[in-house]
Amino acid sequence: MQDLDIFHGSSKIIVKPEFGYGKLYNDYGMALYCTEKLEMAKEWACTEAEDGFANQYRLHGAGLRELNLCSGEYHILNWLAILLENRVFRMDSDLQEKAKQYILEQFLPDYREYDVIRGYRADDSYFSFAAAFLNNALTLEQLNRAMYLGDLGEQIAVRSRLAFEKLEFIGVEPAVREIYYPKKANRDQMARQLFRKEKTNVCQGTYMIDLMREQWRDDDERLQRIIHE
């Protein structure tokens, strides 16, 4: 893969990220989560109460394998399957549990051996869309559109020991909470408003129960039609 200039938003200055450190139940597992956009990293760095830092790194890509979930090779259900394997979803019914298992069995890509994963960022707003789809409250078409709502951004997850060894610290920029937390909050609020609007729409489309009844598979032509609508 090519070299990347990436930013990690944090409450700390991190000159040398430590492999194997971090939250286990993140979107793509334990990793250093970054973005190519400085302004986005500053938003991610701040809380309502604290300033943060955008740590900049150069990731030297030679010898690394990148899985790009935003490329045309993959689709929204591949992303959802990885999310289901790594994040904690509250399952309120047997049907939701069956839906989870079906997504994992049919749509989970072989992602574990990749050094770097590029994909959507499943913050609380995106997570709401995914949970609603599993609960048959949103269609697949709505879920696919949701990935563009609110401009919440892509993330780059640096996952392997080899990838950590290829990180070069470039510098750091402060992120002032009075500036960047309102931006983050506004971005999230916009996505939530759009989510509520989508939930009130009674749509003709493909629900989770339809995928299971009709035995959709990863290479189903109907998926390509929905993705490119």
The string of DSSP letters for 27-79 reads TTSS-EEEBS-HHHHHHHH--SS--EEEEEEEE--TT--EEETTSTT--HHHH
Q: What does the block give as tokens for 180?
A: 């960047």
* pLDDT of the residue at 223: 87
- Which sign, positive or negative, has the C-alpha torsion 164, 167, 173, 178? negative
Q: How far is CA 179 from CA 40, 184, 208, in A?
A: 12, 9, 40
The letter for the amino acid at 194 is L
Residues 6+ apart with CB under 8 A from 43: 9, 175, 180, 181, 183, 184, 187
User: What pLDDT sits at residue 202?
Assistant: 64
Single-letter amino acid code for the residue at 201: N
What confidence category does residue 228 fall into, taking pLDDT thresholds of 50, 70 and 90? low
Q: State the total domains in the chain.
A: 1
Write the pLDDT tens digit of every residue in 96-137: 899 999 999 999 999 999 999 999 887 777 777 888 899 898
Rounded to whole angstroms, the Cα distance separating 144 from 130 reads 10
Q: Output the average pLDDT for the chain.
A: 89
Cα 146 to Cα 11, 30, 122, 127: the distances in Å are 29, 25, 11, 10
Out of 22-26, 129-133, 162-166, the most confident range is 162-166
The encoded tokens of residue 21 equal: 């450190």
Give the span between the Cα atoms of 90 and 86, in whole angstroms. Answer: 13
pTM of the model: 0.89
Query: Cα separation of 54 and 83, whole Å?
Result: 25
Domain that holds residue 111: 4-227
Burial class (CB in 10 A: 0-12, 13-18, 19+), 199: middle
- Position 151 scores a pLDDT of 60
Question: Rounded CA gap, 198 and 192, in Å?
Answer: 10
**Coil, helix or strand for 170?**
strand
| Sheet of strand 52-59: strand arrangement | 4-10, 52-59, 167-175
pLDDT recorded at residue 93: 80
pLDDT at 20: 86
Q: Quick one: how far is CA 59 from the chain centroid?
A: 20
Of residues 74 and 201, more confidence is placed in: 74
Percent of all residues in the chain with a pLDDT value above 70, rounded to a whole number: 96
